[in-house]
Structure 1
């Protein structure tokens, strides 16, 4: 929108929901659930100037769902830093590619195994990373493909 306005092109904002909320609803996974997460945080995982400066300690808090937009290219850094900040390596992660679209695909892993999954499967952006124990509510076993 900023680029269009800067170029003198009129825009109209149509209210909607974020990709993260849409993906979670489509998957049937509440981002907050009394047994898993009391909070949810949305962050960008897009590298800027070859760095990814996030508040890792805040993201690694227990009983929280973390949704990372544009995190595919920085996934190794994300997983390493989350674990260094205290997030258990066994924390479940869902990779949601093309969220809410007919071609949506979903894979599950853990914070420890996510970089290998992405490399082995050759997964490419765009995708959301949903991190936290709410991912256990997905149908199918952790580590198996969950496909739409």
Structure 2
């Protein structure tokens, strides 16, 4: 009986390990039942940086969504702050419009949430270092939450 339980547990562990090793599960984006649970972004910049556009297309029953539980961890050799603009647009031909401005500290953690964004709109983060142009390392995390 113990051998059967042990072999079943080992088989389940191999199955889960095989699925994550093939690239179905990635460490930067977790999914549950087709909904994105948490997204992350990291890197560094000295002047400004634009993120990729994230799609905000959900089921037709969803009218709006927002970015919740967001935080930015930063570190730099200088003190001060920089701006992070959350921008949205309806399609790839329209212009980006700023819906939220976040003042993030260069050394520390800054929390944020976004206003409601209409379903079908994409969003991006536009980060600007208006002060001393020293390198800033950052890590961002947020959860798109459909309302």
Of structures 1 and 2, the one scoring higher in RCO (CA 8 A, sep 6+) is 2
Fold-level match, TM-score > 0.5?
A: no
Instruction: Give the greater-gyration-radius structure (CA).
Output: 2
| Alignment TM-score, normalising by the size of structure 1 | 0.35
Give the TM-score normalised by the residue count of structure 2. 0.35
